[in-house]
Amino acid sequence: MIKSLLIQDYALIEKIEVDFKSGLNIITGETGAGKSIIIDAMSLLLGERASSDVIRKGADKSIVEGIFEINKNKKVKTFLAENELDDLPELIIRREISSKGSNRCFVNDSPVALNIIKDLGDLLVDLHGQHEHQSLLKKETHINFLDGFGNNEELLRTYKWLFTSLNKLLAELKEIKDKDAAYKEKRDILEFQMKEIDAVSPQPDEEKKLLEELKIFENSEKLLGLTTTIYEQLYDSENSVQDILSKIKNDLSELAKIDSSFNESNNECESALTLVNDISDFIRTYKEKIDIEPEQIEAARERLGSINLLKKKYGGSIESILELRKKIGEEFAAADNYSLNISDLEKKINAVRDNASAAAEKLSKERLKISKNVKKEIESVLAELGIPNAKFEVRITQREINQNEGNSLRFNNKNYAYDSNGCDEVEFFISTNLGEDVKPLVKVASGGEVSRIMLALKSVLAKNDKLPLLIFDEIDSGISGNIAQKVGQALKSLASYHQIIAITHLPQIAAYSDQHYAVEKKTIEDRVVSSIRKLDERGKVIEVAKLLSGEKVTDTSIKSARELIETKA
């Protein structure tokens, strides 16, 4: 329920703060005082669109803020959690409209998009009157009202679980079939790619090794010439390095016998001679292995060409080629299981579809039974509210489809379209005048008659409707006397299940209030200002007296007001 409402710099309102209580909250005031402005501001808070025209002249922005008690509202708490908003004992919704055209929305001081507070509003408030925020005037909500009246929660829970399971399996089947179709479309290409890669069968480090081999093959003549020259210079020619070092070594040995200081040099020369011999052995061995074979060079070049062609086509590196080959292999392996998986899934789908069809059929039968009771009760309440010749119908239909059109549920030997509520489409129809055919409720003219129809529907559905706050504007249009008293009784009864805020001009309705508020218009410094105040018991009597006799309150009107209020207590 709403605990308090703040409206600042909105239309004729400079600033008002009003606290609401549970039960029946009645708002009265003379025509033009600003009662409808309060309802308009509430609509703004519930997510209706607004322009900067609503901003009070001279102000920079309009602010509307509502504080709601949500401790027992599980739907709101779930919504807050899903949208990562703070779950506090009180829910604070604030809307700011700037003169610059900006529109800011907040939930518990966190900035949110407009659709968030609109969705929250749908979970908190049902506003009836000259506004669009009327859930019963949305055809898609009728099935929920009907189910609420009939306590179909358990049936719905079972069906919705089957519906979710079926959709999950169907999505899984579609995914596998899409993969299978995609695989079949490119199977020839995949086979060609696989064969082309396998024909070359490149190895991870092969390219580097081939390039090194080619470099050696292509420079074999140079390698042979240079190694021959080096070997001759080091070992195999007159005055080779080996011969010279051997002579020097002998001389150093003689010198070391005479002077031990030559020992180190003698040893170093011996090491140098050993190193030259080692190099000579390596050069000789390498030179002997050099074998110029044109066929080897051509084979290496062809192999590199094949690898480079694959690189150009499949990703620029051997690694990417091998990764593609692995992926193709996995696709072929997965494709082998597609038919088996499809067959298994189709069996599961058929079993779940059969159960979902049975649950949908059971729901449909229960709704048909409920609809007859709803018709009787609503027509009875409408008669009490001054629409004695009203006819009310609940039409339940199903859309039969050809099995080839898409997924369906089947019962009564027919295939039906379905959604999360089953196979039924529910719509309320009404006629309020004798001799007229019933028409869709969503097309009924707006105004007081609509509000009374809503009141009748709400009265019948009240015990199961979970919206905590109902707001009625212009509910007394075109009624008076005994009918007004009936409307007041209906509102009072409805207030046992919901918090009610209602605007009225009739004393017969106002007398039923649990809390009474008066909207007044004053001129302050040449400007009109609307305000609202909560009335005490004496104030309520005086306000009801004004509704009975006009602005001039007499002792007689006060006495009549007091008697009227006491009869409602």
List pLDDT tens digits, range 390-418: 899 999 999 999 876 668 899 989 999 99
Q: What is the pLDDT of residue 210?
A: 79
Nearest Cα neighbor of 186 from 324, 346, 344, 342 is 324
Q: What is the pLDDT of residue 132?
A: 45
Confidence grade of residue 336 (pLDDT, cut at 50, 70, 90): low
Enter the DSSP assignment of 324.
H
Residue 233's CB is within 10 A of a number of other CB atoms, namely: 15
Lowest mean pLDDT, pick from 6-20, 78-92, 100-114, 328-342: 328-342
**Statement: residue 463 has pLDDT above 70:** no
Per the model's pLDDT, the better-predicted residue between 163 and 387 turns out to be 163
The pTM (predicted TM-score) of the whole model is: 0.62
Place of tokens 């040995």: 253
Contact 389, 455 (CB under 8 A): no
Distance set, CA 394 to CA 259, 354, 428, 524 (Å):
130, 27, 5, 53
Q: What is the pLDDT of residue 466?
A: 66
Nearest Cα neighbor of 393 from 419, 430, 364, 420 is 430
**Statement: residue 446 has pLDDT above 60:** no
Contact 180, 341 (CB under 8 A): no
Distance (Å, whole) CA 199 – CA 196: 5
Give the mean pLDDT of 43-69.
88
221: which 2 tokens?
């003549």
Contact 37, 58 (CB under 8 A): no
Q: What are phi and psi of 410, to 5 degrees?
A: -130, 125
Share of the chain above pLDDT 90, in %: 28
Distance (Å, whole) CA 533 – CA 18: 7
Lowest mean pLDDT, pick from 212-216, 330-334, 365-369, 493-497: 330-334
Place of tokens 């898609």: 140
Per the model's pLDDT, the better-predicted residue between 214 and 168 turns out to be 168
Residue-wise pLDDT for 151-177, tens only, equals: 788 899 999 999 999 999 999 898 888
Beta strands in 163-300 (DSSP E): none
Q: What are phi and psi of 204, to 5 degrees?
A: -50, -45
Confidence grade of residue 500 (pLDDT, cut at 50, 70, 90): very high
**Statement: residue 297 has pLDDT above 60:** yes
Alpha helix (H) residue ranges in 385-506: 448-461, 481-494
Q: What is the pLDDT of residue 456?
A: 82
Residue-wise pLDDT for 555-569, tens only, equals: 888 999 999 998 876
Give the mean pLDDT of 485-508.
89
**Statement: residue 328 has pLDDT above 90:** no
Give the mean pLDDT of 51-62.
87
Confidence grade of residue 242 (pLDDT, cut at 50, 70, 90): confident
Give the mean pLDDT of 17-43.
87
Give the mean pLDDT of 373-390.
87
CB-based contacts of 283-288 (< 8 A; 24+ apart in sequence):
283/227, 283/230, 283/231, 283/234, 284/231, 284/235, 286/223, 286/227, 287/224, 287/227, 287/228, 287/231
Per the model's pLDDT, the better-predicted residue between 400 and 34 turns out to be 400
Q: What is the pLDDT of residue 448?
A: 56
Residue-wise pLDDT for 58-67, tens only, equals: 888 999 999 9
**Statement: residue 445 has pLDDT above 60:** no
Fold of 1-130+463-534: Rossmann fold (3.40.50)
**Statement: residue 57 has pLDDT above 70:** yes
Report the chain's mean pLDDT, rounded to a whole number: 85
435: which 2 tokens?
């001799």
Contact 91, 67 (CB under 8 A): yes
Give the mean pLDDT of 212-235.
78
Q: What is the pLDDT of residue 66?
A: 94
Confidence grade of residue 222 (pLDDT, cut at 50, 70, 90): confident
Residue 534's CB is within 10 A of a number of other CB atoms, namely: 15
Strand 515-524: give its sheet, edge to edge: 110-112, 103-107, 90-98, 61-69, 2-10, 13-19, 527-534, 515-524, 24-28, 499-503, 469-472, 125-128
**Statement: residue 522 has pLDDT above 70:** yes
**Statement: residue 354 has pLDDT above 70:** yes
Residue-wise pLDDT for 304-326, tens only, equals: 888 888 888 887 788 888 888 88
Share of the chain above pLDDT 70, in %: 94
Q: What is the pLDDT of residue 343?
A: 85
Q: Which helix (H) or strand (E) holds 33?
A: none
Kindly list the domain boundaries of the chain, sorted by start residue: 1-130+463-534
